[in-house]
Amino acid sequence: MKTLIDDKPNLLTIFVLESKTETLRVFRTPGFSIPSLLFPIIFYTFFGIIFSMNPATMPTYLMITYAVFGVIGPALFSFGVGIAIERGQGWFNLKEVSPMPASAYIFSRIILTFIFALLIILMLFAIAVIFGDVRLMLWQWVSLVCIFVIGSLPFCAIGMTLGLYLKSSSAPATVNLIYLPMGFLSGLWIPINLLPEVMQQFANVLPPYHLAQLALKITDMDMGFPILLHVSVITVYSLLFIFLAVKAYHKKDKQ
Amino acid sequence: MKGKILVILTMLFAFFMLLPEPSINQTSGITIASSDNKNSNSKVTAFSQNLIILNVHLYHGNRQYEQDDVSIVNYKVAAIAHNLPVQSIYPEINGADKTLLPGLIDSHTHVFQNTLLEALHYGVNPELDMRTMPNFANQYRHQRALQSNVGHADLFSVTIMATAPGRHGTQFSFDIPVLASVEQVPQFVDDRIAQGADYIKAVYGSQNSKIKYLSSINSAILKALVDRAHQYNRMLVVHVDDLISATKDIMQIWKNGTAYLGKTHAAPDDPAKKFENRLFSDFNHSNDGQLNQTNIGSGIAANTDE
């Protein structure tokens, strides 16, 4: 492997090294990693398996929605809370003046989100298969993983915006205040069709709802709206929050 | 580093190869009840247009036939006989020690997302819905005419119930039309028919009942409803919560009807007692206790051919 002492630093090397150290850092702070990993698993075990209303479909349905819940968590927290805290510590500024490109900073956090997402998904799948008797075709398992992992990207953008706007002291509470209600109202905790009509309508403006619907299409459990609608809403949200994040980043520069 | 990544990728691959797939040895859209319960968890995964079920016990509602072969051609039962000539091109299902049933009719259900799909998984077809929203019902109603497997149970629906402002039926956070006077009845029934209702349902509570209903449509509205429904040759189904509403009022208006009751109590000298006993014996006999959960509450259907 190349090292940093090379004449021309390879961008890929920087990306890999930054991702590696970032991952190492997070796994050495179990205060973040363990709750993020266990939260969706425990919820799924309670609502999807132990208190399952319908053992034929509920474990499958909730496995998918809790996986969505699981993957947006690390995206929001690693970006939102992570960046806010590093800004508060001055670490963000230090990294900015270092020769490392800003893209490496974002890339490493995306990789970190993917790793967490994948770990959560694999644990959920294992529990669903062993205790919930969930059976899916191989293409369904694989498509679900792809949707979940790629679907975490828009939430990285949302997290980044939050991380750049919020103060380090208020970030954890604020992100929780967005994450938990948004998950519930999007029908990730209990199926969306069990919520009252008004709340079902409201879910249309929430991005996790659309991601969950896309994933539920794989097992034919969605509400039956077109794929294009869900993809468009998620895309619009991604673009909006990328724009906001860029704006926040430049605003911070002028201060 | 490369070695580590390779190990991780291999483990991921192994994980996905280990994830179980559904068993697909059952290729029929027909429920086969297994007496040994071995296959009770297996769901319908695919439907074959043509197939043969061999050596199956057949129960078609009032008689059981032992060890028959049933051939299904183009989604329809084509032949039932001992030792049917086997068409090798058709998929075969070994029905030994299993019983083949016609679709169970769920006579009181409220359908919403996925329930029609699940009904079919459990061998229930058709579903007689007693309240849902017209838009939902219309997605499925027309598919009754299709012979092919549409993947869910057939639906007959009442769409919106006829009820008084504030009474049962209005609590589901849907904005539904309610009935306060006899004059509103023709329009209400016309609208339901236009929206595709297969029968009309009313929620009724008698003034004479021991339960004091805060509001209910009165007997004049009920009479107008059944008259209007009969003009369209539709049945009126009435939801009642107590025996007095059922026996003192409705049974007085129409001598002819069918009734089922979930759970109620009448004094031993009450004329309703006889009614109740008959209903309970009918109920237990025909449903074998299985439909208890779906038939919560009580109701009376006034026949259209009175």
Measured CA to CA in angstroms, residue B83 lies from B48, B68, B173, B278 at distances of: 21, 7, 56, 43
Which member of B16, B17, B121 has the closest CB to residue A56?
Answer: B121
Q: Look-up: residue for tokens 């399952």?
A: A52
Count other Cβ atoms within 10 Å, centred on residue B37: 8
B63 pLDDT exceeds 90? no
pLDDT of residue B30: 44
The whole-number pLDDT of residue B259 equals 60
Q: What is the pTM of this model?
A: 0.52
Name the average pLDDT for chain B: 72
* Cα distance between residue B224 and residue B228, in whole Å: 6
Nearest to B167 by CA among B129, B221, B229, B234: B221
What sign does the CA torsion over B67, B71, B75, B76 have?
A: negative
For B21, which of A57, A122, A137 is closest by C-beta distance?
Answer: A137
Pairing relationship of beta strands B236-240 and B298-302 according to DSSP bridges? antiparallel
Mean pLDDT to the nearest integer, B160-188: 83
Predicted local confidence at residue A95, as pLDDT: 83
User: What pairs with residue B302 in β-bridges?
Assistant: B236, B257
Query: pLDDT tens track of chain A, all 255 residues?
Result: 555 555 667 788 888 888 888 888 888 878 777 887 888 899 899 888 887 777 777 888 899 999 999 999 889 988 888 888 888 888 888 888 888 888 888 889 899 899 989 999 999 999 999 988 888 888 889 999 999 999 999 999 999 999 988 888 888 899 999 999 999 999 898 888 888 888 888 888 999 999 999 998 888 788 878 889 999 999 999 999 999 988 888 876 545
Mode of pairing for the β-strands spanning B257-261 and B200-203: unpaired
B243 versus A199: the higher-pLDDT residue is A199
CB proximity B135 to A under 8 Å: no
Residue B84, class by beta-carbon neighbours within 10 Å (0-12 exposed, 13-18 middle, 19+ buried)? middle
CB B147 within 8 A of CB B74: yes
Q: How high is the pLDDT of residue A190?
A: 85
> Is there a contact between B19 and A1 if contact means CB atoms under 8 Å apart?
no
Tell me, rounded to whole angstroms, the distance of Cα A107 from its chain centroid: 14
| pLDDT score at A2 | 54
Count, residues in chain B: 306
Question: Which one of B40, B43, B113, B173 would you mutate to disrupt binding with A, by most A Cβ within 10 Å of its Cβ?
Answer: B113
Contact (CB<8Å) A141/B113: no
Comparing CA positions, the residue from B146, B152, B153, B100 lying closest to residue B125 is B153
Of B195 and B260, more confident: B195
pLDDT of residue B87: 61
CA-based nearest distance B8→chain A, Å = 11
ipTM, 2 dp:
0.71
The residues with which A188 forms a beta bridge, in sequence order, are: none
Q: B16 and A198: CB-CB below 8 Å?
A: no
CB burial readout A107-138, b (16+ within 10 A) else e = bbbbbbbbbbbbbbbbbbbebbbeebebbbee
- In chain A, the residue whose alpha carbon lies closest to the alpha carbon of B12 is A122
Q: What pLDDT shows up at residue B46?
A: 45
Give CA torsion, residues B117, B118, B123, B127, to 10 deg.
-70
B76 to chain A, any CB pair closer than 8 A? The answer is: no
Q: What are the backbone angles phi and psi of residue B257, rounded to the nearest 5°?
A: 180, 175
| Chain A residues with beta carbon closer than 8 angstroms to that of B113 | 193, 223
**Chain B positions in Cβ-Cβ contact with residue A125 (cut-off 8 Å):** 15, 19
Report percent pLDDT > 70 for chain B. 68
Distance from CA of A90 to the nearest CA of B (A): 31
- Separation in Å, CA of A136 to nearest CA in chain B: 5
B21 with A125: Cβ contact below 8 A: no
Q: Which helix (H) or strand (E) holds A13?
A: helix A11-27
Higher per-residue pLDDT: B255 or B232 = B232
Residue A68 confidence (pLDDT): 94
Residue B286, chain A, CB below 8 Å: the answer is: no
The shortest C-alpha distance from B21 to chain A (Å) reads 5
How far is it, in rounded angstroms, from Cα A182 to Cα A128?
A: 23
What is the mean pLDDT of the segment spanning B158-169? 83
> Nearest CA to CA, how far is B12 from chain A (Å)?
9
Which value, in Å, is the radius of gyration of the alpha carbons in chain B?
25
Residues of B in contact with A54 (CB under 8 A): 118
CA–CA separation, B210 and B7 (whole Å)? 74
**Touching check for B277 and chain A: CB below 8 Å?**
no
- Give the minimum alpha-carbon distance from A232 to chain B in angstroms, rounded to a whole number: 23
- In angstroms and rounded to an integer, the radius of gyration of the C-alpha atoms of chain A is 19
Q: For residue A20, what is the nearest residue in chain B, using CA coordinates?
A: B1
Residues B65-123 have pLDDT tens digits of: 888 888 888 778 888 888 877 666 677 888 888 888 888 888 888 887 788 888 888 88
Of B19, B117, B121, the CB nearest to A129: B19
User: What's residue B130's pLDDT?
Assistant: 87
By three-state DSSP, how is residue A26 classified?
helix
B13 touches chain A (CB under 8 A): no
